[in-house]
Chains A and B, each alone.
Chain A
Amino acid sequence: MSDARPTTRYTEYHPRWYRPRVSTWWWLARWPYLKFILREISSVFVAWFVVVLLLQIRALSRGPVAYAAFERWLQNPLIVLLNLITLFFVVFHAITWFNLAPSAMAVRFRGKRVPDLLIVGTNYAAWAAISLVVAWFLVRS
């Protein structure tokens, strides 16, 4: 393990580098750090949703018996719990994403910058509208 502690190696023409090693758990030190890591971890739950969606599509194409088995699998308490946690993370992703929208796109109208609150508000309104449309397609027997 010669590379394990590069800070202690002799470096020609330089005083010894001062690079204190950051703990692997740095993100537990402060709430904003933890929030950042939770936001990044949300991506894992986005991927989990895709897995569930692909399982649903596969079950649908295999016929009513396979689909009934898939629906029973969704009722497994562990899967329900996992999906509850997933919902928390994907909503967290959505909220942090929309709140950052004004920084990502500075919209101008007649030479003036559109207020941040208006951009965020538009995003939330669109979120509500899109959710209703998706629900309208799915919630019908």
Chain B
Amino acid sequence: MAKQSNEPVLWALFSAGGVMAAFLIPVHLFLLGLAFPLGWIPAPSYEHLLALVRLPVTRLYLFLLCFLALFHWAHRFRYTLYDGLQIKHLNELIFVCCYGGAIFGTVLAGYLLWNFR
């Protein structure tokens, strides 16, 4: 019997992350990275953001956003390297680096958000 592949799970995470990233990241990035620093829109105060992130629902949202976006990156970037650079002998290393990076980032996000005071 063929060995069961974990590819469907990884693809599902990629797909869910793709949906999250498409709907949510443009607006987040536009505000955080451009509109607030350049003064186009008044930036939210420290207190407002602190109160927002203290809500458990916000932290769950931020965790899911980080987790799924990172696994989206891992899957897509892995195949970009496979297809783009034709370095087949490094495939295992690429796999470990991509998903290792995604797991590291997810754990970090969980740690930061769980311990948020």
Q: Is the CB of B85 within 8 A of A52?
A: no
The B contact surface, by secondary structure, is helix
Question: B112 in the interface, Cβ–Cβ < 8 Å?
Answer: yes
Q: Is the CB of B44 within 8 A of A141?
A: yes
Q: How many residues of A contact B (CB 8 A)?
A: 53
Asked if A60 meets B32 with Cβ closer than 8 Å, knowing A53-B66, A90-B26, the reply is: no
Question: A30 in the interface, Cβ–Cβ < 8 Å?
Answer: no
The distance from the CB of B24 to the nearest CB of chain A, in whole angstroms, is 7
Q: Is the CB of A90 within 8 A of B44?
A: no
Q: Is the CB of A126 within 8 A of B80?
A: no
Contacts A40-B76, A43-B80, A52-B29 known; 6 new A-B pairs at CB < 8 A: A40-B83, A57-B116, A71-B36, A75-B38, A80-B33, A134-B31
Q: Which A positions have Cβ atoms within 8 angstroms of B? A: 3, 22, 24, 27, 37, 40-44, 46-47, 49-54, 56-58, 60-61, 64, 67-68, 71, 74-75, 79-80, 83-84, 86-87, 90-91, 93-94, 97-98, 104, 126-127, 130-131, 134-135, 137-141
